[in-house]
């Protein structure tokens, strides 16, 4: 049986041979752990700041503050690609459209269409299509609305707007087909009334 001194010597030798590697591993482990916690804390802090800034932007736009548009665009630029930037763009578009500034509204919506995905992009597609339709930019409106046609939950409204645009262009057959698609997706939509208002094909 090894004596206590021999065991101690073996431990000393083990640490002599492997100590640096173990310590280095522990240091790296702690660095990764605390580094991740720091990163996580920084991420949360950034998101909280974005949330606070976004709330201020919405308040300014709602109050029709003269600097609201500039503040919103600066926020969008500083937080480009983030969900809050997309939401701010949608808010800016709504406020601008309400004030008759359709160019700013279309531009804000385009930024969402270019950067967002999923439902946010589809919302921007639909809203931009409506604005372009109101400006009689029919081809651009069709391009915007067609981008939302396959998004779950947006098929009915996208098809209805498509029908409106095609009817305005004089394409009654295309409008009829679009309204039929809208009714199939949502039987309670206004598209049913619009469909019935189109003269039957001769």
> Which residues are CB-contacts of 138 (< 8 A; sequence separation ≥ 6)?
132, 165, 168, 169
Give percent of the chain above pLDDT 70: 76
> Concatenated DSSP letters for 55-108?
HHHHHHHHTT-TTHHHHHHHHHHHTTTSHHHHHHHHHHHHHHHHTT-HHHHHHH
Main-chain dihedrals φ then ψ at residue 124, nearest 5 degrees: -65, -40
For the question of whether the overall pTM of this predicted structure is more than 0.85, the answer is: no
pLDDT for 43-97, tens place per residue?
666 777 777 888 888 899 888 888 889 999 998 999 898 888 899 999 999 999 9
Cβ atoms of residues 174 and 166 within 8 Å? yes
Q: Which of these ranges, 24-38, 65-79, 125-139, 154-168, has the smallest mean pLDDT?
A: 24-38
Q: In angstroms, how far apart are the furthest CA atoms of the chain?
A: 108
CA 65 – CA 56 distance, rounded (Å): 11
């Amino acid at each position: 049986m090894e004596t206590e001194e021999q065991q101690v010597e073996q431990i000393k030798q083990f640490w002599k041979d492997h100590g640096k590697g173990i310590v280095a591993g522990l240091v790296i482990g702690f660095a990764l752990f605390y580094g991740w916690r720091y990163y996580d804390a920084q991420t949360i802090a950034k998101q909280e700041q974005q949330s606070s800034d976004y709330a201020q932007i919405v308040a300014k736009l709602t109050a029709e503050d003269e600097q609201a548009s500039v503040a919103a665009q600066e926020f969008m630029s500083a937080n480009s690609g983030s969900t809050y930037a997309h939401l701010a763009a949608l808010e800016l578009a709504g406020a601008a459209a309400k004030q008759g500034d359709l160019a700013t509204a279309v531009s804000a919506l385009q930024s969402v269409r270019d950067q967002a995905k999923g439902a946010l992009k589809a919302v921007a597609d639909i809203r931009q299509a409506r604005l372009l339709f109101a400006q009689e930019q029919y081809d651009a409106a069709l391009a915007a609305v067609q981008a939302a046609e396959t998004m779950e939950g947006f098929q009915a409204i996208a098809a209805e707007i498509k029908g409106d645009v095609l009817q305005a262009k004089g394409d009654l057959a295309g409008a009829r087909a679009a309204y039929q698609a809208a009714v199939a997706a949502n039987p309670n939509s206004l598209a049913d009334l619009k469909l019935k208002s189109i003269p039957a094909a001769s």
